[in-house]
């Protein structure tokens, strides 16, 4: 089987890490021939280089409105002749349409990775989504909430949850060593990992930190990531010594492991957050918005707390509840770890993708034989 994977870049991000995990699983467990096509030469994952999977650039000088992109992709597909095209993102799905039609290659579309509460029907993005769904054979989401938000045709729609490689969390550096590295001097740490963008509410995180640190100084609040709002959030938090900004770092797992609670505030709705899965895999209780696909993995009061339209002071009370109650904090962390081990491993995710690839290839071959038989009947007539 030959599979062509098409994604914008391999910069640090949720769907990018998911693809790396999948490629690693396929490399270890199948004899598939694979090719990765990138829109831009931006690779943040050394693990991808180690996989030694060939890759090509769609263009050296990418321009968003370059009408030649679909024809460049068609050329790559014509030369490689994959059995399946698997796209990751709205743009790759759109660019691949001409190739999938002309070359009659089955198309798996994994563009649904979030679950916004509302989608404007009259905008260009939604129009492109509708076209993408029309010309995809299978549309994948990483959450049921994602399908409910975007509403692709049901007969084409599937859900495959994210999977995490638990080996990543073995043999991590000593917690005290990591705490010193990141200037965490307090007994407790609360961490939020994400981009400083409109999709992540670091303002709320800082407000919670300010609410708590007015009365106690034994908790550090660690902000991990970068983005367009980083400078503004830093300015907002500059008077609070208990708020730490790390920027983009490579030892995220080790830092989460050295903290006590993982939080993620996503007002626009996550699909299935890798950050939350990693919190759970490392045995940390989670506090997050009750929106999108988060409530499909975070069970309120069991492995974390889900919050909806409540004030920073009320969320601060949940943070203090967990900090003050070691037994409850550990029990929630253990429940989260068990959930990941049972339902969110990379092995489980990988097997579901392998089954899907075989199903769609079998279906395609059967359909081709059916068409040949019809043509024979027509000729005989």
Residue 222 CA to residue 245 CA, distance in Å, equals 6
CB atoms within 10 A of CB 320: 16
pLDDT digits 0-9 by tens, 327-359: 999 999 999 999 999 999 999 999 999 999 999
- What pLDDT, on a 0 to 100 scale, did the predictor assign at position 12? 79
Backbone angles phi, psi at 198, to 5 degrees: -65, -20
**Predicted confidence band at 271 (pLDDT cuts at 50, 70, 90)?**
confident
pLDDT of residue 259: 98
Give me the domains of the chain, ranges plus CATH numbers. 2-163+346-380 (3.40.50.2000), 166-343 (3.40.50.2000)
Residue 188: strand pairing partners:
219
CA-wise closest residue to 108 among 1, 3, 2: 3
- Asked whether the predicted pLDDT for residue 134 surpasses 60, the reply is yes
Three-class DSSP category at 312: helix
pTM for this entry:
0.89
- If pLDDT is split at 50, 70 and 90, which confidence band does 369 have? low
Q: Mean pLDDT lowest for which of 4-18, 83-97, 173-187?
A: 4-18
Helix spans in the chain (H): 14-29, 46-51, 69-80, 90-95, 97-103, 124-134, 144-150, 175-181, 202-213, 230-237, 252-257, 274-281, 312-324, 326-343, 346-380
């Amino acid at each position: 089987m030959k599979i062509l994977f098409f994604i914008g870049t391999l910069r640090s991000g949720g769907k990018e890490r998911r693809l790396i995990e999948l490629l690693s699983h396929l490399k270890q467990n199948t004899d598939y021939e694979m090719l990765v096509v990138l829109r831009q030469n931006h690779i943040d994952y050394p693990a991808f280089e180690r996989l030694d999977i060939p890759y090509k650039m769609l263009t050296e000088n990418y321009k968003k409105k370059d009408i030649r992109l679909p024809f460049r992709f068609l050329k790559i597909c014509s030369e490689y002749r994959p059995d399946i095209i698997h796209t990751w993102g709205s743009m790759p799905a759109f660019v691949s349409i001409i190739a999938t039609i002309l070359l009659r290659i089955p198309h798996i579309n994994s563009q649904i990775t979030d679950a916004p509460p509302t989608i404007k029907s009259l905008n260009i993005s939604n129009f492109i989504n509708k076209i993408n769904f029309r010309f995809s054979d299978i549309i994948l989401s990483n959450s049921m909430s994602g399908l409910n938000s975007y509403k692709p045709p049901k007969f084409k729609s599937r859900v495959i949850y994210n999977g995490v490689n638990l080996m990543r969390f073995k043999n991590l550096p000593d917690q005290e060593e990591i705490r010193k590295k990141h200037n965490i001097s307090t007994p407790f740490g609360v961490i939020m990992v994400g981009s400083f963008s409109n999709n992540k509410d670091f303002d709320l995180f800082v407000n919670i930190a300010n609410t708590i640190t007015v009365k106690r100084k034994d908790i550090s609040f660690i902000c991990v990531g970068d983005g367009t709002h980083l400078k503004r959030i830093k300015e907002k938090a500059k008077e609070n010594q208990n708020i730490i900004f790390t920027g983009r770092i490579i030892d995220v797992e080790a830092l989460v492991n050295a903290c006590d609670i993982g939080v993620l505030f996503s007002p626009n709705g996550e699909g299935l957050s890798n950050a939350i899965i990693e919190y759970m895999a490392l045995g940390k209780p989670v506090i997050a918005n009750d929106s999108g696909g988060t409530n499909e993995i975070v069970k309120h009061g069991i492995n974390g707390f889900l919050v909806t339209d409540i004030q920073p002071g009320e969320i601060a009370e949940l943070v203090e509840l967990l900090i003050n109650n070691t037994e409850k904090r550990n029990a929630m962390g253990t429940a989260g770890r068990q959930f990941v081990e049972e339902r969110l491993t990379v092995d489980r995710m990988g097997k579901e993708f392998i089954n899907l690839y075989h199903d769609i290839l079998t279906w395609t071959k059967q359909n081709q034989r059916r068409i040949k038989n019809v043509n024979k009947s027509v000729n005989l007539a």
